[in-house]
Copies of this chain bind each other. A is one copy, B any other.
Amino acid sequence: MGGMSGSPHFALTLSCPDRPGIVAAVSRVLFENGANIRESNQFEDQETGTFFARIEFNFVGDDRSSSLRSNFSDAARDFGMTWNIRDLSILQRVLLLVSRDDHCLADILYRWRNGELAMDVVGIVSNHPRENFRHHDFDGIAFDHLPITPGAKAQQELLIEGIITQRKVELVVLARYMQVLSNDLSIKLAGRCINIHHSFLPGFKGAKPYNQAHARGVKLIGATAHYVTADLDEGPIIEQDVERVTHRDSAADLVQKGRDIERRVLSRAVAWHLDGRVILNGHKAIVFAD
């Protein structure tokens, strides 16, 4: 992960109908504009006839990204591309939402500090007070306690939306935020809001999935990180993982083991998103994992 944070380096991501000549055209433009390819991934979806690529590059000499961008748009037009060139050294602005359980938050903050998650955390919002997180050094990150009062959930969400707008938030991470976002907000945040779903998805939906899993006597439990969509828990899957459990594990044990899975699955998904490694393919996510 990570790599060259500091000096400018870029990720070009693109998708378009698959046909011969795409790579030739793309790599020619990159070469002619002085780009030095550092890592390249592509995927040809035979089912939908769609081509996807992510190319990471830097410039050996001057930063010629603006001329590259304008030259690239011509090629992109010819192939009907959806594309984006992003300077990975410019950190994305991230908002963390969290409820009472802080295991995912703790893990994200730890990785943010040690550089594994290169991002600009512009805020932490919780429906629980700062006191709930008293052992965490937020290190200057703004914290907003936005409690939910009966009948006033919509107002609370408006406040969150205000923060997203004002702080120019690019990615929202639901780090065990136990409130369902409204359809409206889910749609606004399409492709830039990541949730962690405890227990293995698809599988046990609804309340208390670990209790359901325990009642069913499963031998594996898991977690799924996915983009939030209006259709709750059905957004594109970014990452999943599992751990083995036995009949000895109580529902409480599953919750504890689940914490470990959740934190690592969510952190991986966030890292890949930040690095531009996740591209949507309809209801699915292509992940060019590092």
Chain A residues engaging chain B, CB cutoff 8 angstroms = 1-3, 20-21, 23-24, 27-28, 30-32, 34-47, 60, 103, 106, 110, 113-114, 116, 134-137, 139, 200, 202-204, 215-220, 222, 236-242, 246-248, 250, 252-253, 256, 260, 264, 281, 283-287, 289-290
Contacts and interface: CB of A to CB of B under 8 A. Distances in A.
A264 B35 CA distance: 40
Contacts of A27: 23-24, 27
A1 B39 contact: no
A60 B28 CA distance: 23
A107 B279 CA distance: 32
Given A23-B37, A200-B200, A239 B216 contact: no
Q: Copies per complex?
A: 4
Nearest to A288: B247
A164 to B, nearest CB: 26
A74 to B, nearest CB: 16
A272 to B, nearest CB: 11
Contacts of A242: 220, 222, 242
A220 B218 contact: no
Contacts of A28: 24, 28
Given A39-B44, A216-B202, A216-B237, A247 B286 contact: yes
A247 B281 contact: yes
A116 to B, nearest CB: 6
Contacts of A286: 247
Contact of A40 (B23, B47, B215, B237): B23
Nearest to A2: B256
Nearest to A283: B217
B20 A285 contact: no
